[in-house]
Amino acid sequence: MSESAQLNIIDHVRSLMEGVKEKLAAGDDPKFWETAFAVLVDDFLQKFRREATNRIWIFQVGACSHWVRPHQSLWNAAGGFAYPEGYANSLPEFDWSVIFGYENPLWIPLRKLPRKKCVIFRVAVPARTAKHKQGAVHAKWSTCQNPVFYGFRKINGRWKCVAASDE
């Protein structure tokens, strides 16, 4: 990734963090969220650049504290993670969520999901990341049946994405 592209991602991450920072609980590690946003925004923007049409592009992100059987189900990538799946139709339920419309290059906070012509990237981030050394993020595009999982580990005090299920 070029330096100018990386700076662009940093600007996007800052915009999204502004929209979620008041929602984060004491147990949520903002550094985890920033690292996850950097990876997720990059994927979002790549798809947007490939497929942008006259549709509305939505990034819906929220925290999830209730995963299905987190200690019995595993995603075996990069040493294993609790399988990031939720109860409702396999979608993790949000404790809270924030919706952003993307109007290149701006992220616009929205009160609710638009009803028509949307491409939605729905992202569930695990809650209580401050006390854990790993976490898996569940993401799903409205245009695709299969979710994408992203595995993060805290290595030498810094969060790093170590796996993605679509790779």
Q: Check: CB of residue 64 under 8 Å from CB of residue 35.
A: no
Picking from 2-16, 28-42, 48-62, which range would have the lowest pLDDT averaged per residue?
Answer: 2-16
Q: Which residue has the higher pLDDT, 128 or 4?
A: 128
Closest CA to 41 of 20, 3, 14: 14
Task: Collect all residues with Cβ–Cβ distance below 8 Å to 136 and sequence separation of at least 6.
Answer: 75, 81, 82, 83, 84, 126, 149, 150, 151, 152
Can you tell me the distance from the alpha carbon of 85 to that of 93, in angstroms, rounded to the nearest whole number?
A: 9
Indicate the Cα dihedral angle 93, 39, 103, 46, nearest 10°: -120
Sorting pLDDT into bands at 50, 70 and 90, what band is 89?
Answer: low
Closest CA to 125 of 93, 164, 89: 93
| Cβ neighbours of 76 (radius 10 Å) | 9
DSSP-H helix ranges across the chain: 3-20, 30-51
- pLDDT of 29 > 60? The answer is yes
Sorting pLDDT into bands at 50, 70 and 90, what band is 115?
Answer: confident
